[in-house]
Amino acid sequence: MEQIIFIIFLLTIGYGLKFLSFPSNFSQSLNLFVIYVSLPATILIQFPKITFDNSLIIPAVVPYFVLFLSIIFVRIFFKNESPNTKAALYLLMALGNTSFFGFPMLQALAGIETIQYGIVYDQFGSFIILTLYGAVIVAIYSGERLQFKQIWRKIITFPPFIFIFLSLIFGELPAIVFPYLELVSKTLVPLAIISVGFTMQFRLDKQKEVFFKFMLLKLIAIPLIVFVIFKGFDIDGVIGIATLLEAAMPPMITAGAIAINAGFAPKLTASLVGYGIIFAFFTLSFFQYIF
C-alpha cells in the first residue's frame, strides 16, 4: 500500500509540473534517461535471474493474444465509429503501459521478482507490437507508406533490447558493480512515473459511450479473459501474476502519442490515456486480489 501511495504521489508531482515553467518536452528528456540508463541497469540486474524454460512462453505470447482480442473487440464493438476513432482504438486497446507505469505497479503489487517477467512481456511483446503493428495501423489509416527496413532498425537498435542480449551473453555481472547498478536502477520508478504524470490529460471528449465501453473492455474484459485462461490451465506463481498484471495495464502513453500525432481522435485518445491510469489503480488491485 505504501508503494501505491508513493506512485500516486509521484504522479501528482509530474502532473503538477505541467503548470510550472517546465519545457513541453520535459517528459521526453526523462523518457530518454529511463530508456538509455535506468531500464538497461534494471535489465542487467533482473534479466540474468530468469530461469529459461517453457514457462517464459507465457509472458512472451500473452501480449499477442491481447493484440488478437483487441482487434476482435474493436471490430465488433466499435464498427460504426469513424476511421480516425477506430485507428486510435486499435492502437490503445492492443498496447498497455507495460514499462513506464507497468514496472512500478508490478513492483508495488506483486514484488520486485516480477520485474524480470515484466521485461519479457514488454520487450518481446509490447515493444515489438508497438513498432510493427503501430506502423501498420498508422500506414493504413493515414495513407503513409510502410518502411519495414526502418522498423526493423528501430527494433534491433533499441537500448533495452540491446542490453537484454548483452545479459544473455554475459550473464550476471561481477558483484563489485552491483551496488552501482542498483543505485542507477532505483531511478526507474520515480523518473518513469513523474514522466507519466507530466503527460497525463483529462479532457473528456463528447464520445462518452466510446470512452466507457473502451475502459470496460481494456481494463476489465481483456485481463478477465486472461485470468480465466490462467486458472483453467493452472498458471500461477510469479510468472502468472506478472503476466496478468501486464495484460491489465492501461493504454500506453507512447501509443497515445502516436495516435495524437497522426490525428486519430486526439481528444478521445488523451482522455483514454489519462483516465486509464487513474482507473488502473483500482482494476490492477482487483486482479492482484483475485489472483
- pTM here is 0.89
DSSP string, 208-243: HHHHHHHHHIIIIIHHHHHHHHHHHTT--HHHHHHH
Query: 219, 280 in Cβ contact below 8 A?
Result: yes
**pLDDT class for 17, splitting at 50, 70, 90?**
very high
- What radius of gyration do the chain's Cα atoms show? 18
Distance from the first to the final alpha carbon of the chain: 17
Average pLDDT, the chain: 90
> Per-residue pLDDT for 66 more than 90?
yes
> Per-residue pLDDT for 269 more than 70?
yes
CA–chain centroid gap for 150, Å, is 22
Range of the structural domain that residue 64 is part of = 2-290
CATH of the domain at 80: 1.20.1530.20
Q: How far apart are CA 270 and CA 40, in angstroms?
A: 29
* Amino acid identity for residue 93 in this structure: M
pLDDT, one tens digit per residue, over 83-110 is: 999 999 999 999 999 998 999 999 999 9
**pLDDT class for 142, splitting at 50, 70, 90?**
confident
Q: Hey, is 96 helix, strand or coil?
A: strand
> Per-residue pLDDT for 205 more than 70?
no
Q: Count how many residues are written for the chain.
A: 291
Instruction: Read off the pLDDT of each residue in 103-120 and give the average, rounded to a whole number.
Output: 93
The contacts found for 25-33 with CB under 8 angstroms, 24 or more apart, are 26/198, 27/195, 27/196, 27/198, 27/199, 30/191, 30/192, 30/194, 30/195, 30/198, 31/100, 31/195, 33/187, 33/191
Instruction: Name the least confident of 160-164, 170-174, 186-190.
Output: 170-174
**pLDDT class for 4, splitting at 50, 70, 90?**
confident
Q: What is the DSSP letter of 113?
A: G
Domain count of the fold of the chain: 1
Instruction: Read off the pLDDT of each residue in 229-249 and give the average, rounded to a whole number.
Output: 96
Query: 287, 245 in Cβ contact below 8 A?
Result: yes
> Per-residue pLDDT for 3 more than 80?
no
